[in-house]
Amino acid sequence: MHRQRHPWTRLVLAFCLLVHIASATSATQFPRGFAIATGHPLATDAGIAAFEQGGNAIDAAVSAALTLGVVDGFNSGVGGGCFMLIRLADGRIFALDGRETAPASATRDMFVRDGKPDPHLSQCGALASGVPGSVAVYDYAIRRFGRRPWSEPWERAAQTAASGFIIDRHYHERLRDTADDLRRFPASAAIFLDSQGQPVEPGQTLRQPDLAATYRAIGRSSAKWFYRGPFARATDAWMRHNNGLLTARDFARYRMLRREPIRSTYHGYDLVGFPPPSSGGVHVAQILNVLGYFDLPSLQPGHADFIHLATEAMKLAFADRAYWMGDADYARVPRGLVSVGYARTLADRIRPDHARHVEEHGVPEPVDPNWFNRHTTHLSVADAAGNWVALTASLNTSFGSKVVVPGSGVVLNNQMDDFSAQPGTTNYFRLQGSEANAVAPGKRPLSSMSPTMVLHHGTPILAVGASGGPTIITQTVLAILNTIDGGLDLPSALAHPRFHHQWYPDELRVERTMPPATRQNLARRGHAVVETKSLAFTQAVGRAANGRLTAASDPRGQGTAAVRQE
């Protein structure tokens, strides 16, 4: 008996050893190559640190995002939301929706006073915030797809929060511009203003010990600490004392949602975009569908004909955005918006030589039965194994609602301003909305955040997105056009002079680097050309035709990109 069992035991032991060797080998042999582009050098470093610990693109993206919440905390953080688009090495694609939700007691006219919307209410203070969604997305992404422990990116970012970082001119300017509002909230002033109530000066070190403690608490436990524990309770208490609506129950009810990404094609490339409550995926696809009917590849990216055609397509898309778009779990958002047939009818309305006044939205066919299912900062990361991430995260405007939940160091978003406070009126970004984007309990405000991927024959070649409100959509389109049609490498594609049209106001915004002759040409066609300093901040990673990974951070910002070939 004993002898008979012996070979079996040896076999089992040998099998266990093989499994052990295989898993150890896969741990050490995870390909070392990567590409990363983020909006801040310390965030890029945090992503690289995750790779160096054996992490994949998902670990690196979350590590960079959490560090951005520390060093770029006026743009994004755990008090805000995000959309995360993930392409796994096995080809599966996930669209994780961490958009904020309106409180259960929110009402359609909560920002209307004496018949008119009061933008200050939706932009600053207790009514401005929805339930933050980023923590739920990072939790899902790391636990499901990451290779590193949940606590690791939190601890890495907490160290930066605790030891501090040097305030640069850019950060100081954002503080200066928001100081009056930050001053209204003692917990915010205590962190971001000095003892005289003035913005922290460039060159000074900003330490955020409360935020470090919050990060460590979440890292040591779980997202429950945020949604069902001390953070939810602290927010509830602050809201109750300040006439806010958010409650601990709203936090407990929050769910990250897995969405079906929007897929479209452009000149033989496959595009993957983010569906509602983002408007990004729909309109990036729609604009490119329309432009697919023109011979853009024969035009240089900066050519006036190219700018004219793209502008006309942007106008048509933004007119549709204002009418049709909202959280598709609440409003009927027609799928026909991204159909090529509808794009044909829009393309037919474009005149090659003059700007057309777009009176109102179009009507995609078929309107009725086919709806999307009832359901800011950008960073892009890829690893050599084939995992790709495009992640856009936001508090909305600088320092969000300007409210720090006392004791937590967490700045709450002001994403409620992305709702349409009243049909026909505009929000901070001068975007109009309709009933589809009216406030409702639990609803997610419409977003322009557009994390996007481009694939060629199944292989990812570009992960791109931007910050900058509605300009996110148009600059994501331009980055794609500049690389696919224009044949530019990533740094040149992002550096190229930009333009933007969002239907209302009827103006074509162009960066001041755009040559005067081009502007005059556009003005002659009837465009109301308005110069602007810069449009959006874009971050992209890609795979060049020779197979090498590439990365580029927008030269307009202070972000960085890094690449290590496999």
Q: Which of residues 376 and 550 has its CB atom nearest to ligand DON in the complex?
A: 376
Would you say 286 and 320 are in contact if contact means Cβ atoms under 8 Å apart? yes
Handedness of CA 363, 364, 366, 368 (dihedral sign): negative
Whichever of 377 and 408 has its CB closer to ligand DON, that residue is: 377
Q: How many other C-beta atoms are found inside a 10 Å radius of the C-beta of residue 364?
A: 21
CB 376 within 8 A of CB 73: no
Q: For residue 511, list its beta bridge partners.
A: 532
CB nearer ligand DON, residue 380 or residue 415: 415
Mind spelling out the 3-state secondary structure of 69-82?
HHHCCCCCCCCCEE
Q: Which ranges of 498-546 would DSSP assign to H, the alpha helix?
A: 516-524
CB of 536 to ligand DON, least distance (A): 8
CB of 228 to ligand DON, least distance (A): 26
CB of 419 to ligand DON, least distance (A): 11
Sign of the CA dihedral running 499, 504, 507, 512 = negative
In the set 387, 394, 437, 518, which binds ligand DON (CB under 6 A)?
Answer: 394
Q: CB 280 → ligand DON: shortest distance, Å? A: 8
- Which of 38, 122, 286, 396 is the binder for ligand DON (CB under 6 A)? 396
The residues, any chain, with a CB within 8 Å of residue 114's CB and separated by 6 or more, are: none
- Under DSSP, the state recorded for 141 is H
User: Which residues lie closer than 8 Å to 483 by C-beta, 6 or more apart?
Assistant: 454, 462, 489, 490, 493, 542
Cβ 530 to ligand DON shortest distance, Å: 18
* Exposure of 323 in the CB half-sphere (CA atoms within 13 A): 14
Looking at beta carbons only, is 102 or 158 nearer to ligand DON? 102
Closest approach of ligand DON to the CB of residue 259, in Å: 15
Please list every residue from 438 through 477 that binds ligand DON, using CB under 6 A.
447-449, 467-469, 472
Q: Check 160, 178, 214, 376 and give the catalytic one.
A: 376
Give CA separation, 89 vs 201, 270, 382, in Å: 44, 17, 10
129 binds ligand DON (CB under 6 A): no
Does 67 sit near ligand DON (CB under 6 A)? Answer: no
Residues numbered 349-388 forming contacts with ligand DON, rule: CB under 6 A: 376
Q: Which is nearer to ligand DON, 142 or 325 (CB)?
A: 325
Nearer to ligand DON, 350 or 472 (CB): 472
Binding residues for ligand DON, rule CB under 6 A, total 12
376 is known as an active-site residue: yes
The separation between CA 161 and the C-alpha centre of its own chain, rounded to angstroms, equals: 22
DSSP 17-82: HHHHHHHHHHHHTS---EEEEESSHHHHHHHHHHHHTT--HHHHHHHHHHHHHHHTTTT--TTSEE
Q: Which residues are catalytic?
A: 376
Query: Could you list the residues that contact ligand DON (CB under 6 A)?
Result: 376, 394, 396, 415, 418, 447-449, 467-469, 472
